[in-house]
């Protein structure tokens, strides 16, 4: 970028006017915190039964959607402590929170209509023991 050697009178006047009344300048930090205020909601489902977790997840999705959150991070765990190996009649995938929560959402049209995508969390966020639910924007 080339530096101007001398300011014109018009540039000087513009600068003086700006210094007197800088109201037209956007506060980037203020807008940044307001828009990111509701970016992600996090909830840990450990210790809840499938029924309890299903009710809670339904409440969370409805509430987060209405409040304008963009994402929900649900900590489900990986199901290692579910003792499913002892019963051959129980599905390992559908008897854990990790497996049932996406099915609950997919089979509930009121919930699935509010969701863009469900995906596994990154390793840093919980990996295979967590889900990220990306929400659509709330329409008034």
In the chain the beta strands, taken as DSSP E runs, fall at: 40-44, 71-75, 115-120, 130-135
Give every CB contact of residue 76 below 8 A, 6+ residues apart in sequence.
45, 53, 96, 97, 98, 101, 129, 130, 131
Q: In tens digits, what is the pLDDT along the chain, a chain of 140 residues?
A: 566 667 788 888 877 777 776 555 555 555 544 444 568 999 999 888 889 999 999 999 999 999 999 999 999 887 555 554 454 434 444 457 888 899 999 999 999 999 999 999 999 888 888 999 999 998 76
74, β-bridge pairs? 43, 131
User: In CATH, what is the architecture of 38-133?
Assistant: 2-Layer Sandwich (3.30)
* Main-chain phi, psi angles of 80, to 5 degrees: -70, -25
Closest residue by Cα to residue 130 from 73, 80, 71: 73
Q: Where are the domains of the chain?
A: 38-133
Closest residue by Cα to residue 126 from 45, 36, 38: 45
Give every CB contact of residue 50 below 8 A, 6+ residues apart in sequence.
95, 97, 100
């Amino acid at each position: 970028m080339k530096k101007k050697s001398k300011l014109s009178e018009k540039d000087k006047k513009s600068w003086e006017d700006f210094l007197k009344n800088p109201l037209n300048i956007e506060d980037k930090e203020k807008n940044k915190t307001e828009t990111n205020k509701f970016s992600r909601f996090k909830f840990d489902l450990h210790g809840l039964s499938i029924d309890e977790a299903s009710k809670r997840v339904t409440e969370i999705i409805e509430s987060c959607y209405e409040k304008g959150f963009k994402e929900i991070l649900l900590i489900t765990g990986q199901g290692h402590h579910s003792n499913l190996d002892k019963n051959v009649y129980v599905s390992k995938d559908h008897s854990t929170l990790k497996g049932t929560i996406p099915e609950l959402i997919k089979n509930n049209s009121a919930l699935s209509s509010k969701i863009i995508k469900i995906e596994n969390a990154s390793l840093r966020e919980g990996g295979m023991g967590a889900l990220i639910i990306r929400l659509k924007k709330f329409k008034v």
